[in-house]
Structure 1
Amino acid sequence: MAAEQIRKYSMIPDKTTEQQSPRPKKQRSVKKAWFTKGEKFLYTTGLVIIAMTMIFVVQYSSSLDSVNRDIQRVDSNIAQVEVENNALQAEVKELSKPSRILAEAEKHGLSIKNSNVKQATQTN
């Protein structure tokens, strides 16, 4: 017992006390992830699919808009050609009148022997 009391006051640390009271170890704080690996994979896959769908929709919309512009251009060209055709048909009717033809014939020195002139084809 006397040896134990001396050890208390001595500068040499007691080996038994070190072993009995170990220093508390720093525990690594394991941060819990917000998402698991599987969830991250699913979210990433979902985002990629959504992005690809958005790109597809934009491309489809762009091509559809381009086709609509081409259709409008063709329609306007058709309308313009129809107007020109109507003008030319009116001009043909005007130029094919028998009185005008007779006037042009007399102007160039032709004369009609029979006064009964008939039109070979009728125009509408």
Structure 2
Amino acid sequence: MVRILGGAISATARQRCNNKGAMQAMVGGVLTDDSVDDSLEQASNQSFQGLVGIITQGQQAGVFREGEADELALTAWSVVHGFAMLASTGSLEHRAANRDAKLALAQRVAGNLLNGIARG
């Protein structure tokens, strides 16, 4: 389950980084809610619900902690979107200068999300 969620997070970050215009439109405040294409909104909702499903299955398997799956998914979703926005605006160039470096950084960030940053 952890690998599945990590893969989903990385795939989402990759997709967002590959489509800068859509990323900036979705989270950069460029478009108003009523000007967002319905298919883009539907794809976004499906992706989020897929993330909720992965977390729910992981909770049932005892892999992920208890809690509202929607809220846990929102945490992951926020990290992915924040990362993708930073990548799409060039704010990560000092850490990752090319696409492959950005994707590797996205995987490490996803790992930090999954493992937490608190000392256990």
TM-score for both structures, normalised by structure 1: 0.23
Larger RCO (alpha carbons 8 Å, 6+ apart): 2
TM-score for both structures, normalised by structure 2: 0.24
Greater radius of gyration (CA): 1
The structure carrying a bigger helix percent of its residues is 2
